Chain A
């Protein structure tokens, strides 16, 4: 779980991650495929 009560607020928060795109779900179903 994450730490609570971060005291110093960052001036800016900006980040982005990248991976291979392979989404195939839709609102009627989400493929979880958890091992």
Chain B
């Protein structure tokens, strides 16, 4: 009982109150274990005075701590982001891959791509539990510039990997989409606005022409397919259109989207960075709109980057995206392969040679994962970053992203670009929990296989 009676001192429970911006509830968080409770404001003092809530949590602290330890340090790579080409047919000004590579880079040959997948198959066979299928996500640059090699690989290794592809959507035709759909490939497309006047501001081809109309045609062809998503990169050029964007995507029956703040890794992207307070306002209104649309139609448009924050609060181990936990997933849940076979902790690092860990054709993957470039990322702990080490929501945010932090501040042990946006998302998520609205923002079946390990609704 000693620890309970003396929280926030010595070995006692750590508890930090946070204002979630709700009329009735205030949050209490134990940051290291990511335990949280929402307490009616008039019950707040009682809660902190040896209440049943604290007794119950006290009995769970060790288990919750172990859970976070597993999530943060106990996972093995099970996915690869694979760039089959350096090149892109677009010249988006915020891209994290250097312009020279996108314009003049090389394709990986079909032979080398198949060889690389063979190496990965052998690696995963000895490093993943039997029955767990690793994932290969073809990424870019624009992977469909090397379409023949990519599709051949998907067919030759369809028993060995789960495949996905992130594409700008400009090179997809009806046959390609049928190829991907019939194989159940998870598809990601990129579109930055609901109309060309917005979507084409930063996403253009090398001739300076916008391409959104073609992407919209691809989205239209994917109608009815449940295994795809649309990424919208949010900048100061399009942030005011986020509500219109979710309305458009919902109308197009897109099942999932991401409204990602622009990654500020390279200088070209930083000039498009919006202020946190500005982007957050429009973003939260877009989230409100998805709720309204769901109430009106019974059909969800899940905003996956927000859903992941919400899931990270409700069920830390169930998170799908591994950017917003520290260490991030780079080099420990996944790694990236560039078109010449170089390995990086994440595709965000592909333009930064310092973070190359080795080459898939020349080095053992197990050794690459132990190199200094990888260890720098897998060892990036939020406890060593200021002001994150003092932040109550540090395990709902994770101070993403190390590549961005390095690009902006010269060190990965600094926070990323959108601290306040994360804080606002977290407060919004807690308000949804307080108002019992969470299901409207999450995938159906997101908690399949999950069990409730803590529940309390009254003292």
A17-35 interface mask toward B, CB cutoff 8 Å, 1 = contact, 0 = none? 1111111111111111111
Of the candidates B78, B186, B316, B321, which one forms a contact with A26 in the assembled complex, judged by CB atoms under 8 Å apart?
A: B321
Would A11 and B458 count as touching, CB distance under 8 A?
Answer: yes
Distance (whole angstroms) from the CB of B198 to the closest CB of chain A: 20
Give the contact stretch, choosing among B7-15, B351-359, B373-381, B447-455: B447-455
* Distance between Cα atoms of A14 and B446 in the complex (Å): 19
Q: How many residues of B contact A (CB 8 A)?
A: 86
A32, B229: Cβ atoms closer than 8 Å: yes
Which B positions have Cβ atoms within 8 angstroms of A?
A: 24-25, 35-40, 43, 47, 53, 57, 64, 67, 70-71, 74-75, 78-79, 81, 132, 135, 137, 139, 162, 164, 166, 184, 186, 188, 226-229, 231, 255-256, 258, 260, 263, 294-295, 298, 304-305, 308, 314-323, 328-330, 333-334, 346-348, 400-401, 433-434, 436-437, 439-440, 443, 447, 449-459
A21 to B436, CA, bound (A): 25
- How far, in whole Å, are A28 and B27 apart by their CA atoms in the complex? 31
> Interface residues, chain A, CB within 8 Å of chain B?
1-3, 6, 9-35
User: How many A-B contacts are there with CB distance less than 8 Å?
Assistant: 182
7 closest cross-chain pairs (CB), A and B = A24-B79, A14-B37, A17-B315, A19-B450, A25-B321, A21-B317, A16-B454
Q: Are A29 and B166 in contact (CB under 8 A)?
A: yes
Known: A25-B322, A31-B135, A33-B162; 18 extra A-B contacts, CB below 8 A, are: A1-B295, A1-B439, A2-B436, A2-B437, A10-B457, A13-B37, A14-B457, A19-B451, A23-B322, A24-B78, A25-B321, A26-B81, A26-B334, A27-B321, A28-B166, A29-B164, A33-B186, A34-B227
- Name the residue on A nearest B323 (C-beta): A27
**B135 contacts A17, CB within 8 Å?**
no
Inter-chain CA distance A22–B76, complex, in Å, is 9
Chain B residues with Cβ below 8 Å from A31 are 79, 135, 137, 162, 164, 186, 320
